[in-house]
Amino acid sequence: MERYLDEFLYYLAVERSLSENTLVSYRADLAAYLAYLRKRKVECLAKADKDTVMAYIYTLQINGRSSATVSRHLASLRSFYKFLVSEGMMLQDPTADLESPKLPQKLPRVLTAEEVDLLLGQPRTEEPAGLRDKAMLELLYATGIRVSELVSLNLDQVHIDNGFIRCFGKGEKERIVPIGDIAARYLREYLTGGRHKLIRENNPSFFVNQHGRRLTRQGFWKIIKKYAGQAGITKEVTPHIIRHSFATHLLENGADIRSVQAMLGHADISTTQIYTHLTRNKLKEIYDRTHPRA
């Protein structure tokens, strides 16, 4: 069974070029499943039928695993068995007719426009690091890009004069995102008044740390936490909450959902549609507060 797992992980790494983090997740999920089979005295994968898989899923549930975790495990099993069948290692897929547990729809947390203004007003732009931080925060809110996309930006991906950036999202898919005048202004100020004071060697990275090397995701998380504290924002503030706020504020102000989907880099429109629930909630709140007969 371990040999099959190794072949599957090799396929994911080489043929599908999945990230190391994704491979680690697949390995952990499937290793747990194989350990369950050994405990049940199931000697080979061919003897694990639909009932076996259902019993495993039930075991995860009664052990307190969340619906999201159970769904992820089942998705890993589906991919694994689909690979085994396609490679002729198994004749039947025991997961073919299984349904994923229904996930409760969680509305993403967002900042108000006033809270965003407070946060973005914190960096001291008379200092090189402050200029960098201001440019990063403005760019993050202007584009809604992921933190991984932000810190991986290179100089040749930022086209300030033309008002857009090129970034590479999940699956290395490239997309073009407009940046707006305010973000462009601070990006330009960072390049002319900040970056060259931080950089110490030839480095293509757009955003660099105090040592002149590419800023890391962890480094940016510390930065955003610091400014949220300075601003007195009591909500949890993360790079992803800025991304949620970007999408929500666009939709609240009349942007069409397809444009927001393209800017966020969502492959499926259903992923973007969760933000429409937030805007409907906002409209209901305004209606209840202002209509005489609400």
In the residue annotation, 159 being an active-site residue is answered as no
- Residue 81 sits at the vertex; the CA angle it makes with 48 and 16, to the nearest 5 degrees, is 155
CATH number at residue 235: 1.10.443.10
* Confidence (pLDDT) at 99: 74
* Confidence (pLDDT) at 102: 62
Asked whether the predicted pLDDT for residue 128 surpasses 90, the reply is: yes
In the residue annotation, 240 being an active-site residue is answered as yes
Which residue in 240, 258, 280, 284 is the catalytic one? 240
Is the same domain home to 124 and 266? yes
Is the same domain home to 151 and 64? no
Distance CA 138, CA 224 (A): 12
Question: Per-residue pLDDT tens for 42-97?
Answer: 878 888 888 888 889 889 888 888 878 888 999 999 999 999 999 888 888 988 88
Alpha carbon distance, N-terminus to C-terminus of the chain: 62
Distance CA 114, CA 236 (A): 15
Is the same domain home to 61 and 140? no
Q: From residue 103, how far is each of 69, 82, 95, 98 by CA, in Å? A: 10, 23, 19, 15
Domain that holds residue 181: 113-289
Is the same domain home to 137 and 206? yes
Which residue in 134, 146, 195, 244 is the catalytic one? 146
Which residue in 109, 185, 217, 266 is the catalytic one? 266
Distance CA 180, CA 169 (A): 20
In the residue annotation, 243 being an active-site residue is answered as yes
In a domain, 45, yes or no: yes
The count of domains in the chain is 2
In a domain, 107, yes or no: no
In a domain, 8, yes or no: yes
Distance CA 78, CA 95 (A): 6
In the residue annotation, 10 being an active-site residue is answered as no
Q: How does residue 129 score in pLDDT terms, banded at 50, 70 and 90?
A: very high
Is the same domain home to 68 and 119? no
In the residue annotation, 275 being an active-site residue is answered as yes
CATH number at residue 63: 1.10.150.130
Asked whether the predicted pLDDT for residue 290 surpasses 90, the reply is: no
In a domain, 97, yes or no: no
Is the same domain home to 201 and 76? no
In the residue annotation, 39 being an active-site residue is answered as no
Is the same domain home to 202 and 65? no
Distance CA 280, CA 230 (A): 31
DSSP letter (8 states) at residue 191? I
Is the same domain home to 222 and 150? yes
Is the same domain home to 272 and 137? yes
Residue 19's φ and ψ, nearest 5 degrees, are -70, 160
Asked whether the predicted pLDDT for residue 134 surpasses 90, the reply is: yes
Question: Per-residue pLDDT tens for 206-224?
Answer: 999 988 899 999 999 999 9
Question: Per-residue pLDDT tens for 102-125?
Answer: 655 566 788 999 999 999 999 999
Is the same domain home to 176 and 276? yes
Contacts of 198 (CB under 8 A, 6+ apart): 128, 129, 132, 208, 209, 210, 212
Where is the domain boundary, 86, 102, 121? 86
In a domain, 100, yes or no: no
Is the same domain home to 53 and 133? no
Which residue in 170, 225, 235, 277 is the catalytic one? 170
Which residue in 73, 243, 244, 249 is the catalytic one? 243
Is the same domain home to 148 and 252? yes
In a domain, 148, yes or no: yes
Show the beta-strand stretches assigned E in 47-163.
158-159
Question: Per-residue pLDDT tens for 248-263?
Answer: 888 888 888 888 888 8
Please name which of 186, 148, 181 lies closest in space to residue 164, comparing C-alpha atoms: 181
